C-alpha cells in the first residue's frame, strides 16, 4: 500500500500541518537530491524546507530554523 504524502508537513505539534500518525511511519526528505535528516517542515509545491540549525533553540524551546529554496522530494522510509 502506497501512502499519499501531504504537500506540506511539519514536526511541530502546534502546527496545523502536523500529522503524528504519518510521522510515526517515518518520512524521508531529499532536498536538491541530498538526503536531509534535520528537516523541521517542508512544502513540495512551493519548493522549500525548514532545517534545524544545530541544537539551538529559541526562548520558547523550539528549534531555530533556516528556510531554503529548491526541489523537495518526500517519501515514506522503507518503501
Q: What share of the chain has pLDDT > 70, as a percent?
A: 95
The band of 4, judged by pLDDT with boundaries at 50, 70 and 90, is: confident
CB within 8 Å of 2: residues ≥ 6 apart: 79
What's residue 3's pLDDT? 63
Cβ atoms 79, 2 nearer than 8 A: yes
What's residue 1's pLDDT? 43
Task: Look at residue 47 and tell me whether its pLDDT is greater than 50.
Answer: yes
Give residue-wise pLDDT tens across range 52-64: 998 999 999 988 9
Q: Where are the domains of the chain?
A: 8-76
Amino acid at each position: 500500500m502506497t501512502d499519499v504524502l501531504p504537500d506540506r508537513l511539519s514536526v511541530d505539534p502546534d502546527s496545523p500541518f502536523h500529522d503524528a500518525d504519518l510521522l510515526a511511519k517515518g518520512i524521508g526528505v531529499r532536498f536538491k537530491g541530498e538526503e536531509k535528516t534535520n528537516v523541521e517542515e517542508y512544502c513540495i509545491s512551493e519548493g522549500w524546507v525548514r532545517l534545524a540549525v544545530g541544537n539551538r533553540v529559541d526562548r520558547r524551546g523550539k528549534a531555530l530554523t533556516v528556510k531554503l529554496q529548491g526541489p523537495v522530494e518526500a517519501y515514506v522510509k522503507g518503501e
